[in-house]
Chain A
Amino acid sequence: MRATAAEESQSGNLVLLCLASWAIPGAGHLWLGRRNKGLVFLVALPLMFAVGLSLRGRLFPFDFSDPLVLLEALADFGMGATYFLSKALGYGAGDVRAVTYEYGNAFLVVAGLLNLLVVIDAYDIALGRK
């Protein structure tokens, strides 16, 4: 069965919504009119990510030879534009000698994973499930 033009337009909007929500934490919720939630995500997640960077955590490379590093890289990648901006500005090299290195990694990884949860939440709201 072929999708109608309205259904295709809606699925296109959903993809755009998810991409926006991934790229800018909270953007999806702001788009859907959930202003308070969107602002909470917009402030909390980049701040958590910045704390991770300030603790000398590392933005892991996509190393397919090491599954754990790859998983951490995927989690970091979950932060969207903040991830690319940090890379471009030269942050996230990581300092394994720093006492706070592992704490920094935990903040970075969890911030990325939480943003992916936020994307799923925005998707659910857009579909009317919430």
Chain B
Amino acid sequence: MRSHLLLLILFAFFVSLVFAAIAKDDVREQIRYGGAMFAGFVVSAIVLGWLMYPFPL
């Protein structure tokens, strides 16, 4: 797998899963917390990616 986006999504999934399991005890809260964290990871990465787009390497 070489897709940056897919690797980012996989990374965000694992980290969100473990953090949700550590931070919350109730399954519903875990899903809500983990989902919010996962979405935060992915959306912020995409936004930051687009913000960096105009800058040359």
Contacts and interface: CB of A to CB of B under 8 A. Distances in A.
Given A37-B21, A100-B7, A103-B7, A44 B14 contact: yes
A114 B15 contact: yes
Q: Main SS of chain A's interface residues? A: helix
A51 interface: yes
Interface in A15-60: 36-37, 40-41, 44-45, 47-48, 51, 55
Q: How large is the interface on A (under 10, 10 to 19, 20 to 34, 35 or more residues)?
A: 20 to 34
Contacts of B21: 37, 40-41
A48 B7 contact: no
A100 B1 CA distance: 8
Given A40-B18, A106-B11, A118-B18, 5 more contacts: A37-B21, A44-B14, A44-B17, A45-B18, A110-B15
